[in-house]
Amino acid sequence: MRTEPVKFPLLNEFVAFITERWAIHQRRLKGQPPPWTADPIFLQYKFTNVLREDDRVTRWIHSNWLRPHQDDLESVVFAMCMARLVNLPAALEALGYPERWSAKHFVKVMEGRKAAGLRVFNGAYIVNSVGGVGRSKAAHLAKVVLPACWKARGDVSRALASGSLAAAHERLQQVYSIGAFMSAQILADLKWTPVGLRAADWYTFAAWGPGSRRGLNRLRGVAVESGKSNFLGGEAVWLETLLGLRRQTLPRLPKALCKLDAANLQSCLCEFDKMRRVVDGQGRPKQLFRPSEEPYV
């Protein structure tokens, strides 16, 4: 067990990164005209909000699917799996809330949108192994992945009801093609249900991903090679280090973020890694920043 705090040479830069991202969000909420920052990287590239629950897709999912059905935990578990596998509000609205699972309905709606030239999926999350020669992504989800999610919804609900996000995450990982990263994205929604809000590890649960491994390495002053995402010591050490970073970061953040949870801090590490790749000449984020024409609420 460590007896002294881990040192983070780039801590000041990380705090400034989070603070400015938060300030941009607040300026937009107040209806201030662009530009909302003088930072050239933030002006050019797209970064997620400090709080994932402020993102447009998450707001739609929570408002339309999660909160209206939050007391039916098994239903919501499956709905959040579908929501994040599709991750596109227009397609989810066309599908309708999945009170029951129908592979035929899912494929009909999704393939219908594709034939009409409409977007079918949001590419933010990638599903492992589409599989099957000639099988579309929608057909693969309907045949293999979503039935497995439907079958596991009771086990995941019971794990979440035990008071542990980590236990629910462990069970979700066992669902075919979901994996650790996607499980964490689904749990980031489920933690906002009445049962999830009672989890003992609500503030301290987080699961690593390639971006957060690189981001935490950068903060520690560990050289990060382009395309590499190793973290010495494995996920347990990564989580211990993340929680240490959280203790050092929280007192320095704006008051509204004084209880920033570990899962959102993990996301901040991913975005910090994207920013540092630009600074270090290792590449650029995939998406440019283009303000949506929709009202910013």
Q: Alpha helices of the chain — where are they, by DSSP H? A: 11-29, 40-44, 56-61, 73-86, 89-95, 103-115, 137-140, 146-161, 165-173, 179-190, 210-220, 234-249, 262-279
Quote the pLDDT of residue 132: 52
CA distances from 143 to 78, 115, 148 (A): 15, 20, 9
pLDDT of amino acid 286: 86
* pLDDT per residue as tens digits for the range 62-90: 999 999 999 999 999 999 999 999 999 99
Residues of the chain with pLDDT under 50: 1, 129
pTM above 0.85, yes or no: yes
User: What whole-number distance in Å separates Cα of residue 171 and Cα of residue 167?
Assistant: 6
* Domain boundaries of the chain, sorted by first residue: 54-198
pLDDT digits (tens, 9 = 90+) for 180-216: 999 999 999 999 999 999 999 999 999 999 999 999 9
Dist. CA 271–CA 269, nearest whole Å: 5
Alpha-carbon span 176 to 272, nearest angstrom: 30
Peptide bond into 35 cis (omega under 30): yes
The 8-class DSSP code of residue 53 comes to G
